[in-house]
Amino acid sequence: MAIGMGVAAIVVAARLLPVEEWLQSFEAWVKGMGPAGMVLYGAVYVAAVVLFVPGIVLTLGAGFLFGLGWGIVVVSIASTAAAALAFLIARYLARGAVERVARKNPRFAAIDRAIGKEGWKVVALLRLSPLVPFSISNYIYGLTSVRFVPYLATSWAAMLPATLLYVYLGAAGRKIGEKTPRSPWEWALLGAGLAATAAVTVLLTRVARRELAKEALEGKS
C-alpha cells in the first residue's frame, strides 16, 4: 500500500513540477566535469527512468553534452541499468503494487500472453515499437515470465537504434549551435547522417509493428 502511494506521488510530482527545466539545469552543471560528469549523468538517468521521468530529454542531452560516441555509451549503459533495476523491483520488491497498476493497462494481458509464448523475441519487438512508455514497460516486463538475462540482453540490443537516433539529434544540435563556420559538404554530411539514422529507426519500428500484429493474430487463432 505504502509503495503504491509512493509511486502515485512520484508520477503526480513528475507531471506538476518543472522536471524538464531541472534536467536542463543539471545538464549545464555536469557539462565541464569530464568523465565524472558522465558517471553522474548516467546515475541521474537511471534514477529518472525508475521514477517514471521520460528519458528522452536526458538522451538528447547526452548527445549535446558528450557528443555522439560517448553519448551513446552513457545512454546505452544507463538505459539498460534502469531497465534492469525496474524489472527487479517489479519481480522481487514491489510485485503486488506494480501488478495492480499494470492490470489497469489494457495492453498488459496481451503483452503477458505474447511474452509467455515467445519470450525475448516479443521483448525485442516491443522495444523497437513500444506499446507502453519505456519507464512503465520496464516494470511490466518484471511481471511476465521472461527470464532476466535474456530480457536484459534483448533490451540493450533493441534499444540501440532509438538511442542512436536521439543521441545523434542531441549531438547534431550542438554542432548546429557552434559558431565555427561549416562548409556545404559538412552540412550535407550532417543532414545525410541524420536522415539515414532516422530512416533505419523508422524501418525497424515498422517491421516490429508488423511482427507484433502477426503475433497478435496468431494469439487469437
In tens, the pLDDT along 151-187 reads 999 999 988 888 888 888 888 776 655 555 555 555 5
Grid cell, residue 198, equals 532516422
Q: Locate cell 539498460: which residue?
A: 80
Percent of the chain with pLDDT over 90: 18
pLDDT tens across 31-63, in order?
767 788 899 999 999 999 998 888 888 888 888
Grid cell, residue 179, equals 559558431
184-220 vs 120-128: helix axis angle to the nearest 10?
A: 140
Distance, in Å, from the CA atom of 194 to the CA atom of 208, rounded to the nearest integer, reads 21
Please, are residues 68 and 172 in contact by the beta-carbon 8 Å criterion?
Answer: no
User: What pLDDT was estimated at residue 70?
Assistant: 92
Contacts of range 55-61, beta carbons closer than 8 Å, 24 or more positions apart: 55/79, 55/82, 55/134, 55/135, 56/166, 57/20, 57/23, 57/24, 58/23, 58/27, 59/163, 59/166, 59/167, 59/170, 60/166, 60/167, 60/169, 60/170, 60/173, 61/23, 61/24, 61/27, 61/170
pLDDT tens across 101-118, in order?
777 766 777 777 777 777
Q: C-alpha angle 80/72/209, rounded to 5°?
A: 65
pLDDT tens across 139-148, in order?
888 888 889 9
DSSP string, 60-77: HHHHHHHHHHHHHHHHHH
